[in-house]
Amino acid sequence: MTALTDGWLMAGRNLRHVVRSPEEIVLYFSLPIMFVLVFGYVFGSGMAVPGHGSYREFLLPGVFVMTMLYGLGATASAIAVDAGRGVVDRFRSLPMARSALLSGRAGADLVRACLEMATLVVCGLLVGWRWREGVVAALAAVALLLLLRVALTWVGVLLGLLVPNPDTVGVVVFPLAFPLTALSNVFVAPELMPEWLGAVAAWNPLSATVAAVRDLFGNPGVGADSWPARHALLLAIAWPLALMAVAAPAAVRRYQRLGR
């Protein structure tokens, strides 16, 4: 119980930080907008989509997932900065829940992810993407995306506690995140890849969310025959939960040992 209330208080603290430096809000919106425009228009023409349909509409669920993934970098650097601040000594000397600094970060970043989602949806609609299976399915897709983001936030928290200083976070995150998106169904359908590559891409946790979200939005590119593709919805729930089950306790343990 105290873990929840303290996490909530710490989330409030993080959101106040944002309000006190409004330039950060501009960053919140610029990344998703850039992703939609760059990938939508650079790759947007002349790429093959299995079956029929527009590539841009195929791509956007992947861009949504990519935005969720790259948010991990901001989480990691915020935690790394926090861990190096003197105020952490005060938090650690208070009788508050040990997880609160971290869950407060996860909570604040979920709020941020909701803002990004809204931006993505608006941008997507502007470049011709549509949801075609009704509002309930679309909301379910958004929920899956946010679930992935929450799980990735904990990975970011863990990463932020593992790097020796905040400046190295960016250097670590990109080489981790980029291959993950390239080796997935974000840009190219796995069945169009060489067989071994296609298998890797099909089992990639990101691919599960992308495939499930494509299905729920009614966007092209679904219906591949591999086991992970047929069970995309199940995997899109299971992968993030598994990731969180590993990353969150590891992060809390790491935090408790900080400076001890």
Nearest distance from C-beta of residue 92 to other proteins, angstroms: 6
CA distances 132 to 39, 112, 205, 259, Å, are 22, 26, 24, 52
CA distances 35 to 105, 114, 238, 245, Å, are 24, 16, 26, 29
Token couple for 166: 């905040």
Token couple for 246: 């590993």
Nearest distance from C-beta of residue 71 to other proteins, angstroms: 20
Rounded to the nearest 5°, which phi and psi values hold at 96? -100, 165
* Radius of gyration of the chain from its Cα atoms, rounded to whole angstroms: 19
Using the minimum distance from each CB to other proteins, give the nearer residue, 17 or 230.
17
> What distance in Å separates the CA atoms of residue 103 and residue 146, rounded to the nearest whole number?
15
Nearest distance from C-beta of residue 244 to other proteins, angstroms: 25
Angle at 92 between CA 86 and CA 93, to 5 degrees: 100
Using the minimum distance from each CB to other proteins, give the nearer residue, 18 or 37.
18
Using the minimum distance from each CB to other proteins, give the nearer residue, 90 or 132.
90
Nearest distance from C-beta of residue 2 to other proteins, angstroms: 8
> What distance in Å separates the CA atoms of residue 143 and residue 125, rounded to the nearest whole number?
18
Site of tokens 């291959």? 179
Residues near other proteins, by CB under 8 A: 6, 9, 12-13, 16-17, 20-21, 85-96, 100, 259-260
Using the minimum distance from each CB to other proteins, give the nearer residue, 77 or 207.
77
Nearest distance from C-beta of residue 4 to other proteins, angstroms: 13
Using the minimum distance from each CB to other proteins, give the nearer residue, 100 or 222.
100
